[in-house]
Structures are given as structure tokens and as C-alpha cells.
């Protein structure tokens, strides 16, 4: 696949170079500079818009707020998750504690009557609290 992708990109690049030479009258050096700038901008935009695995983790956990604690898909069904325990909170809600990779522990607070998650939090390293796409 990688070889095919590289070959395809080279073919597309060649077509662009030929068209730029013909339509814009650009010499080889200007075409190369133009393509380098375009590729640099594309690379920068990909870096800026990328989401880190930790941000992915936080987004998925926050998405669970409003869901039922009994939903089997809560917490994204991560491989390492396991319920460690539950605590009653002073406000009457219950907080479930889950163990994930390494030092990562996350908590879902839910209303015991409706069983709806009202908030979440995590403890541990940002390196451990991740979801890798």
C-alpha cells in the first residue's frame, strides 16, 4: 500500500509540474519551490488539526455524560477498564472508580435513581489516560 501511495503521489506531482510549466510559464526551480510550500502547508495543517490520544480519551469520557451507567458502551469499552469500586457521595450520587492502563483511574458520578452519568474525572498520568485510534 505504501509503495502504491508513493507511486501515485509521484504521478500526481508530475502532472502538476507539467501543468504549472505549461499554464504559468514557471521554470523548474519555481515549480519545486511552489510544491514545497504547498506540501509544507499541508503538513502543518495536519499537525494543527490532529488530536492527541489523551485529548481523544477526554473527549470520549465527556461524551458519556448523560448516558446510562448501565450502558455497556460507556467508557468506550477500552480493553483495560475494570470497575475498582463505588462510593456514595455527600450529594446523594454514586461515583464508580475504574482502572485503566498504568496509573490511569477514571470516575463516573451518576444519579442512583435515574442511573444517568452526571460528571466524570480522571487521575493519573496523561501518558496512561489515552485512547489511541
Summarize pLDDT for 8-36 with one digit per residue, the tens.
Answer: 655 666 666 556 555 565 566 666 676 66
- CA-derived radius of gyration, the chain: 25
Confidence (pLDDT) at 89:
96
DSSP 9-57: HHHHHHHHHHHHHHHH---HHHHHHHHHHHHHHHHHHHHHH---HHHHH
Confidence (pLDDT) at 132:
75
Helix, strand or coil, per DSSP, at residue 50: coil
Give the angle subtended at the CA of 75 by the CAs of 71 and 77, to the nearest 5°: 85
pTM of the complete model beyond 0.75: no
Cβ atoms of residues 17 and 35 within 8 Å = yes
What is the residue-averaged pLDDT of the chain?
76
Higher-confidence residue: 48 or 107? 107
Cβ atoms of residues 84 and 105 within 8 Å = yes
- Residue owning grid cell 475498582: 84
- What are the distances in angstroms from CA 71 to CA 26, 61, 89, 110? 61, 13, 21, 12
Higher-confidence residue: 80 or 120? 120
Confidence (pLDDT) at 77:
47
Most confident listed range (6-20, 46-60, 88-102): 88-102
Q: Quick check: 82 pLDDT over 60?
A: yes
Amino acid at each position: 500500500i505504501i509503495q502504491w501511495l508513493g507511486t501515485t503521489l509521484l504521478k500526481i506531482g508530475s502532472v502538476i509540474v507539467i501543468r504549472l510549466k505549461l499554464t504559468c510559464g514557471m521554470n523548474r526551480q519555481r515549480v519545486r519551490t511552489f510544491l514545497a510550500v504547498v506540501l509544507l502547508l499541508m503538513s502543518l495543517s495536519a499537525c494543527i488539526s490532529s488530536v492527541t490520544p489523551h485529548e481523544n480519551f477526554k473527549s470520549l469520557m465527556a461524551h458519556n455524560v448523560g448516558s446510562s451507567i448501565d450502558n455497556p458502551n460507556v467508557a468506550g469499552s477500552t480493553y483495560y477498564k475494570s470497575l475498582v469500586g463505588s462510593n456514595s457521595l455527600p450529594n446523594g450520587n454514586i461515583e464508580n472508580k475504574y482502572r485503566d492502563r498504568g496509573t490511569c483511574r477514571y470516575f463516573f458520578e451518576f444519579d442512583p435513581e435515574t442511573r444517568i452519568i452526571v460528571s466524570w474525572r480522571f487521575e493519573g498520568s496523561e501518558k496512561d489516560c489515552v485512547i489511541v485510534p
